[in-house]
């Protein structure tokens, strides 16, 4: 159940889209919003991967201290955060505000332990949008997220349908469950893509998908393709035009800064949100 939604918010146009999208989700799911802002003390052009080799115990300690952080530091609330808080209040959505010094991606990842979904915006630079690229913090967060993370489109979108790429793995099962739960909550259809496997394997996976989706009682269809998942996703997404594409989290390649090919393919699709489920 989606009951707590974290929004990475810095007052930028991309963050404002993320907040608007989160407000819609919170209203339809009866959820609470947590506005998360980090005041970074590093250069915006820094490419240092401070999130590599995360320590789970450190992350749990950080998560436990989040509730005390605001009271302990007594940081002044920036004007853009106060405006965002008032938007939540006007929408009758319960809202909390978290402010920290440090790297935005790290703080969002730590706060992710306390929420069911994290919502972030895309890079506001037009040339990056054309290339399907996202901002530095969003890039780092997708590589290390501990909870489902939704990357919004360039503008607010009413969610009318979902598409999930299924694979037989723990993360694949969680991605399918997240898509089923979200489709049931929002009362929208779900499209499941099974691709890149021999026919007998795809048939077995499709039977598993049908069984899993029965529990959510959603309108769902399954598309099977012999093509690689990224290629099948491109073809089917351009044909079906889903509002959200749900993908299982992929393992990071050691020392690589590039996002997996399936992520990059999904992020390049126009007017589509992308959700990564770890």
Give the domains, in start order, of the chain with CATH numbers.
Answer: 4-151 (3.40.50.620), 162-277 (3.40.50.620)
What's the pLDDT at 163? 97
* Structure token pair of residue 16: 């404002």
What's the pLDDT at 135? 76
Contact 151, 274 (CB under 8 A): yes
* Alpha-helical segments (H) within 187-224: 199-213
What sign has the CA pseudo-torsion 269, 275, 277, 278? positive
**Across the strands, what pairs with 246?**
164, 275
Q: Is 95 left (phi over 0), alpha (psi -120 to 50) or beta?
A: beta
What's the pLDDT at 152? 94
The helix or strand, by DSSP H or E, that contains position 233, with its residue range, turns out to be helix 229-240
pLDDT in tens, the chain (278 residues): 899 999 999 899 999 999 999 999 999 999 999 998 877 654 444 444 434 444 433 443 444 444 444 444 455 678 888 999 999 999 999 999 988 777 777 778 777 778 999 999 986 554 444 445 677 778 878 887 888 999 999 899 999 999 999 999 999 999 999 999 999 999 999 999 999 999 999 999 999 999 999 989 899 999 999 999 999 999 999 999 999 999 999 876 545 567 888 998 999 988 899 999 99
What's the pLDDT at 271? 86
Distance in angstroms (rounded) separating the CA atoms of residues 25 and 23? 5
Distance in angstroms (rounded) separating the CA atoms of residues 219 and 162? 11
What's the pLDDT at 66? 46
User: pTM here?
Assistant: 0.82
Sheet holding 149-151, edge to edge: 95-101, 32-39, 4-8, 117-120, 149-151, 273-277, 244-248, 162-165, 190-195, 220-225
């Amino acid at each position: 159940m989606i009951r707590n939604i974290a929004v990475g918010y810095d007052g930028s146009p991309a963050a404002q889209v993320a907040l608007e999208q989160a407000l819609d989700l919170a209203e339809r799911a009866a959820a609470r919003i947590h506005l998360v802002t980090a005041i970074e003390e590093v250069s915006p052009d820094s490419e240092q991967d401070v999130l590599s080799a995360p320590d789970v115990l450190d992350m749990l300690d950080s998560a436990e201290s989040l509730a005390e952080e605001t009271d302990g530091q007594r940081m002044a609330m920036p004007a853009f955060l106060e405006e965002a808080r008032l938007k939540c209040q006007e929408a009758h959505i319960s809202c909390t505000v978290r402010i920290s010094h440090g790297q935005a991606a790290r703080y969002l990842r730590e706060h992710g332990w306390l929420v069911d979904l994290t919502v972030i915006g895309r890079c506001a630079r037009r040339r990056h949008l054309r290339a399907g690229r996202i901002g530095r913090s969003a890039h780092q967060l997708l590589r290390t997220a501990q909870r489902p993370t939704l990357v919004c489109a360039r503008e607010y979108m009413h969610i009318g349908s979902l598409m999930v790429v299924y694979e037989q793995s723990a993360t694949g099962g969680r991605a399918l469950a997240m898509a089923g739960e979200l489709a049931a909550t929002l009362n929208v259809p779900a499209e499941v893509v099974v691709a890149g496997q021999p026919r007998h394997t795809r048939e077995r996976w499709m039977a598993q998908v049908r069984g899993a989706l029965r529990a959510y009682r959603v309108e769902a269809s399954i598309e099977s393709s012999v093509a690689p998942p990224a290629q099948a996703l491109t073809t089917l997404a351009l044909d079906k035009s889903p509002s959200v594409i749900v993908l299982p989290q992929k393992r990071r390649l050691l020392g690589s800064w590039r996002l997996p090919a399936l992520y990059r393919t999904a992020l390049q699709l126009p007017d589509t949100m992308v959700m990564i489920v770890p």
